[in-house]
Amino acid sequence: MAEVVRTTCPYCGVGCGVLVTKEDDGSYTAQGDPDHPANLGRLCSKGSALVETLDDNARLLYPQMDGKRAFWDKALARVSSEFKYAIDTYGPDSVAFYVSGQLMTEAYYVANKLMKGYIGSANIDTNSRLCMASSVAGHKRAFGSDTVPGNYEDLELADMVVLVGSNLAWCHPVLYQRLTAAKRERGTHIVVVDPRKTATCDIADQHLALKSGTDVKLFNGLLSHMAELGSTDRGFAQAHTTGMDEALEAARFDAPDIRSVAEVCGLDTADVLDFYKTFRRTPKVVTVYSQGVNQSSRGTDKVNAIINCHLLTGRIGKPGCGPFSVTGQPNAMGGREVGGLANTLAAHMDFDDASIDRVRRFWNAPRMAQQPGLKAVDLFEAIHRGKIKALWVMATNPAVSMPDANRVRRALELCQFVAVSDCVAHNDTITYADVVLPTTTWGERDGTVTNSERRISRQRPFRDAPGEAREDWDIICDVAGRMGYGAAFSYETAGDIFQEHAELSAFENNGSRDFDLSGLMGQPYEFAPVQWPLRHRGGGGQERMFAEGGFYTPDRRARFLAVRYQQAVHQPDTAYPLVLNTGRVRDHWHTMTRTGLSARLGRHRAEPTVELHPGDAERYGLVDGSLAKLASPQGEAVLRVRVDDGQQPGSVFVPIHWNDTNSANAVVSRLVGAVTDPVSGQPESKHTPVSVSAYNAKWQALVVTRGLPVASDNGYWTQITGEGCVLIAVADSEDVADWLSWARDRVDGGDRDWLSYSDPAGGSHRFAALQNGMLQAAVFVSRHSDLPSLDWVQAQFALDALGDVERAGLLAGRAPGDAFDSGPMVCSCFSVGINDLRRAIADGTMLSVEAIGEALQAGTNCGSCKPEIQAVLDQELQKAEVNTLRQEVA
Ligand code: SF4
C-alpha cells in the first residue's frame, strides 16, 4: 500500500499541510492536507509542483573546503577551529551567524543557544530581518510582545478585509483562496492599499493606489477620522490601553483633514473618505499587512499606525477582527520564537537583566550574551570594518538578498573565514565560502515550523538525503561539541531539541510571557498542528489573543504609538527619477533553487523583468519585450521590459528571484540601498530611486541544450528549466565575429554533428548539435525578436532521432507547418499558456473565467492564476471591441 507522509510546504508563511504519497513505482505525489487548519486541502501553484523539485542534480552532496571535496570530520574541525581562534583572539563579538527562516525551529534553536549562551555574543541575525522585523518591532511597541493576535479564520469571518502592501494572490495564495471563497459566500468588502495594481486587486472592492511610503499618513487620517466621529471603543481603550490621547494628537496634527491626507497619498479625497467610512462603520475588520509595510525605512511606524486604528476601535482578538501581519518565509515565526533575531534573546524574551539571567540558568550557559547583537545590515558592515572575522551563513543567500548586494559580496570576500551550510551545490554566496556543508532539505528533514497564525506544524522526511547531507541541527551541534560544549548539545533527535525549546518557553513563565508551549512538554513529537500559547497539557492552543486585554507590557495595557508620516529617506531626483519597488512573482520562491527546477513554474515568468507604466515606457523609449538597463547609485541590472498599466507612473517593479547562477545582471538587490528602519533595522527594499534607459541589444538568441549550459559573458542572459532541456535567452549590445564558435561555446562539449545556417546580411544564424541523430542543442540567433516557439523546440528534445523535416525546421528557425506556442504559462497546474487562453477566447465560446476553467481546466486546481485569466479575458475582449468598432467605422 502506498505510504503517505504528512508534512508542510517549505515556501511561504501560510504553512500549508501537504500529504506526500510514495507510489508503487517509487515516484511521489503531493496534495493539500485536508486536515491541516491552514489550508484545509488547498495548495497553490508552487505547492502543487513540489514533487517536481525533488531533483538531486543540483544538490551539494559532500562537504567542501577551499573548493575541494572534504571529509565531514575535516570540514567541521576547520569551522570550529576558525571560530574558536577568532573568539580566543578577538573576543566573542568577532564571530557571527547569518541564518534563515528556511531553517527548522530546532536548528534555529541550537544555533541561537550556541551563539548567545556559549559563544557569548548575540551576533546571530536572520534573513527574516529583511522580511518582517518591522512587524516584530511594531508588535512589541504596542503589545509588549511579538504576538499575532488573530488567525486565518478571521479573514473568513471579517466583513471588511484591508490588505496593505500585500499581494496576497501571489505571495500567500492559499489565504487569497480562502478570502476569495469568503467574499463569494458573504460578500466581504475588500480594500487593497498598494501603489501597484496587483493580481490581488481582482477581488478588491476598492484599490487605494497610494504613493509609495505614505501609509502612516493614510492610517493617521483614519485614526483621527474615527476619533472625531466617535467610533472609539471607549471601554476597551480605557481598560486596556495607554497613550491614546498622545497618538490622537499626533494623528490630528499629521492628518488634519481628509483632503490633505489624499493629497500626500496621491489619492482622491472621495476615495479616502469612502475607505474611512467603510472602516468606521464595519465592526469586523481585519487589516492584513506584509512586505509593503515592513520593508520600509518607516516600517515600524506604519505597523503601529495600523495597530492604533484597531486599538481605538477594540477590534483586536475577536473573531473577524484584528491587525494581521503575514510573514513571507515558512518559518519566520519559528525564528522569532527561538530568538533568531539579534535583538531578541530566546522564547520571546529580550535582553533585560531578568531574562538574561533566566535563560543563563536554564541553559546552564557559561558565557551569556549581555546585549543585542548586530542586525543584518550592520553585521555585514562590521565585516567591512574588520570587526567580524568569522561568519557562518546557514540556508540563505545574502549575496543575492541583502540590500547593496555588491557591498555585501565585498564583505564576504573580505571576511577572514566564511562557512556556508546549504543544500545546493552552487549559489552566489557559496562562491565566497571557505567551507561548504551539505544539508538536508524539504522531504529529508525532520522538525517544526510556525506559520503566520502562530500554528506549529511538523515537517517530516519521506526520502533519503542524497550524498552525505546532514540535518542543520546535527551539524550545528557537532560544531558546538568540537568547540567544547558537547554536553549541552548532545541531542539525539530533533524532537529532543523541541522538548528543550518547549521547556524554556514554560520556564518561570506563569502567564507572564506570550510564547508558552507548556502543553507540549513531555508529549510525543508526533503532535498535530497547534497554535501557541498552549499553556496546559491536553488543551488546545489559544486561537486569538487580547480581546480582553492582557497585553505583555508591565501594566498589561497595550500602547498607542504617536507616529507621524515621514518621507522615505531617499527620494527620486533628476539623476534617478523613478522609484524601484521589489517583490515576488507568483511561481517562484526566493532565489529559485527549488522552484527553478520545475519546467511548469519556470514558464510563468521566464525572464527577469522590469515592469513600468506605459507612459514611462514611452518616455524612456522602451516597448514591451525590449531590454532595459536600470541603475541606482549602488548598482545596475539589465531586464526584460513589461509594460503594465497597473504600475504607477514614476515607479518600476522588479522581482527578487534572479541571481548570478541563473542570469546575468539581474540581481535587484544590487540596486537597493542599505537604508534601514531606525527601530527594526529592516531594509527599505521598496523605495530606491533609479534611472532607466534602453539596453540596445544588437541581437537576441535562444539557446536550448540537453546538457549543462555554459556560463555566458553576454550583457543579458537568463535560463529556465525546460522539458528535458535548459532554455537560455541571450542578448548583447556587441556583435559576434564567429557565430558557430559562439554557439559551440554555449553548450556542453562532446562529440556532436553540427548543422548550421547563416545569413550574415539578415543577422540570422541557426545551429543544431546532434548525437546519434538525437538533438543535443539548438541555437537560434536573430537581429529581431523572431525566435522560434519554445514548445516546438522543446518537443524536438523528446524525439529519439530527428528526421529531415525536423532538421529542416531547426535550420529554418520555425516549425514545419503551423506550430502553436502556448506562450508564458498562466495556469501552471494544467500547463495552460497565455496563447491557449487567447485562442480559446477568440473562439467566442469562453467568455468567463468559469467557462475557461470548464473547457481548459485552467484555474480549477489551486486558483492562483484566476486573476491573470481574468486579465487576459479583459484584454482580449477589449481588443475585440476595438476591432468591432474599427470595422463599424470602416
Ligand atoms: Fe506553500 Fe502555496 Fe501554501 Fe504558501 S500558499 S505554504 S507556497 S502551498
Taking CB atoms and a 6 Å cutoff, what residues make up the pocket around ligand 1?
9, 11-12, 14-16, 39, 43-44, 46-47, 172-174
The residue to which cell 493580481 is assigned = 199
Ligand 1 centre distance from Cα of residue 46 (Å): 7
Q: Which atom of ligand 1 is nearest to the CA of 45?
A: 2
Q: In what helix (H) or strand (E) does residue 423 lie, and over which residues does it extend?
A: none
Cα–Cα distance measured from residue 294 to residue 313, given in angstroms and rounded to the nearest whole number: 23
- Report d(CA 371, CA 879) in Å as an integer: 62
Q: How far is the CA of 1 from the centre of ligand 1 (A)?
A: 28
- What sign has the CA pseudo-torsion 433, 437, 443, 447? negative
- What atom in ligand 1 is closest to the CA of residue 175? 5
Partners of 449 in beta bridges: 457
Task: Quick: pLDDT tens for 243-266.
Answer: 999 999 999 999 999 999 999 999
Q: Which numbered atom of ligand 1 lies nearest the CA of 47?
A: 8
The number of the ligand 1 atom at minimal distance from the alpha carbon of 8 is 6
Between the CA of 72 and the centroid of ligand 1 the distance, in Å, is 34
Bond into 572 cis (ω within 30): no
Which ligand 1 atom sits nearest the alpha carbon of residue 15?
Answer: 6
Q: At 356, is the secondary structure helix, strand, or coil?
A: helix
Please give the full DSSP string across 721-779, using - where no structure is assigned: E-SSSEEEEEEESS--S-HHHHHHHHS--S--EEEEEEETTTTEEEEEEEETTEEEEEE
Would you say 797 and 725 are in contact if contact means Cβ atoms under 8 Å apart?
A: yes
Nearest Cα residue to 414 out of 406, 404, 403, 422: 406
All cell numbers assigned to 140: 512589541
Distance from residue 10's CA to the centre of ligand 1 (Å): 8
Q: How far is the CA of 548 from the centre of ligand 1 (A)?
A: 32
Residue owning the nearest CA to atom 4 of ligand 1: 12
Positions in the chain short of pLDDT 50: none
In whole angstroms, give the CA distance from residue 146 to residue 336: 8
Tell me, what amino acid is at 329? Q
Ligand 1 centroid to Cα of residue 771, in Å, is 41
Quick one: cell of 704? 536550448
CA distance 143 to 853: 45
225 alpha carbon – ligand 1 mean position (Å)? 37
Question: Of all atoms in ligand 1, which is nearest to the CA of residue 44?
Answer: 2
Phi, psi of 74 (to 5 degrees): -70, -40
Q: Describe the strand order of the beta sheet including 435-438 as a list of residue ranges.
A: 68-69, 64-65, 435-438, 417-422, 390-394, 95-99, 124-126
Cα–ligand 1 centroid distance for 11 (angstroms): 6
> Measured between alpha carbons, how far is 136 from 683 in angstroms, rounded to an integer?
14
pLDDT of residue 865: 87
Ligand 1 centroid–CA 152 distance in Å is 14
Half-sphere exposure of 145 (CA within 13 A, CB side): 26
Which of 8, 12, 200 best tests ligand 1's pocket when mutated (most atoms within 8 Å of CB)? 12
**Among 43, 53, 176, 598, residue to substitute to test ligand 1 (most atoms within 8 Å of Cβ):** 43
Pairing of strands 578-583, 651-655: parallel
For residues 253 and 220, give the distance between their C-alpha atoms in angstroms, rounded to a whole number: 9
How far apart, in whole angstroms, are the C-alpha atoms of residue 62 and residue 815?
Answer: 44
Give the β-pairing of 95-99 and 455-459: unpaired
**Residue among 19, 172, 329, 828 whose CB has most ligand 1 atoms within 8 A, to mutate:** 172
DSSP 8-state code for residue 421: E
User: Ligand 1, from 8, 16, 36: best to mutate by most atoms within 8 Å of Cβ?
Assistant: 16
Going from the Cα of 170 to the center of ligand 1, the distance in angstroms, rounded, reads: 10
User: What spacing in Å lies between the alpha carbon of 375 and ligand 1's midpoint?
Assistant: 28
pLDDT at 860: 87
Structural contact between residues 3 and 322, judged by C-beta atoms closer than 8 angstroms: no
Neighbours of 360 (CB within 10 A): 18
Closest ligand 1 atom to Cα of 32: 8
Q: Which atom from ligand 1 is nearest to the alpha carbon of 11? A: 7
What are the strands, taking DSSP E only, across 210-299? Answer: 241-242, 285-289
pLDDT in tens, 632-668: 999 999 999 999 999 999 999 999 999 999 999 999 9
Do residues 145 and 514 touch, judged by C-beta distance below 8 A? yes
Element (H, E) at 642: strand 636-643
> DSSP labels for 363-395?
HT-SS---S----HHHHHHHHHTT---EEEEES
Protein residue whose Cα sits closest to atom 2 of ligand 1: 44
**What atom in ligand 1 is closest to the CA of residue 589?**
7
- Are 384 and 407 contacting, i.e. CB atoms less than 8 angstroms apart? yes
Q: How far is CA 381 from CA 92, 359, 412, 415, in A?
A: 17, 29, 10, 11
What is the number of the ligand 1 atom nearest to the C-alpha of 43?
8
Mutate to test the pocket of ligand 1, among 39, 53, 449 (most ligand atoms within 8 A of CB): 39
Q: What spacing in Å lies between the alpha carbon of 173 and ligand 1's midpoint? A: 7
Tell me how far the alpha carbon of residue 644 lies from the centroid of ligand 1, in angstroms: 26
Distance 16 CA to ligand 1 centre (A): 6
Provide the grid cell at 191.
480594500
Give me ligand 1 centre to Cα 13, in Å. Answer: 7
CB 237 within 8 A of CB 244: yes
Which numbered atom of ligand 1 lies nearest the CA of 174?
5
**Which region holds residue 67: left if phi is over 0, alpha if psi is between -120 and 50, else beta?**
left
CA distance 613 to 643: 6
Report the distance separating Cα 139 and Cα 487, nearest Å: 36
**Which ligand 1 atom is the nearest neighbour of the CA of 14?**
6
CB 221 within 8 A of CB 314: no
Quote the ligand 1 centre to 38 CA distance (angstroms): 10
Beta-carbon contacts of 402 under 8 Å, excluding residues fewer than 6 positions away, are 130, 376, 377, 380, 408, 669, 674, 683
Say how many Å lie between the CA of residue 34 and the centre of ligand 1. 14
Distance CA 311, CA 869 (A): 39
Q: Which of 20, 36, 42, 46 gets mutated to test ligand 1 (max ligand atoms within 8 A of its CB)?
A: 46
751: exposed, middle or buried (Cβ count in 10 Å: 0-12, 13-18, 19+): exposed
The residue ranges of DSSP E strands in 783-854, in sequence order, are 825-827, 832-833
Return the C-alpha cell found at 12. Answer: 511561504
Choosing from 9, 176, 657, 862 the residue with most ligand 1 atoms within 8 A of its CB, the one to mutate for a pocket test is 9
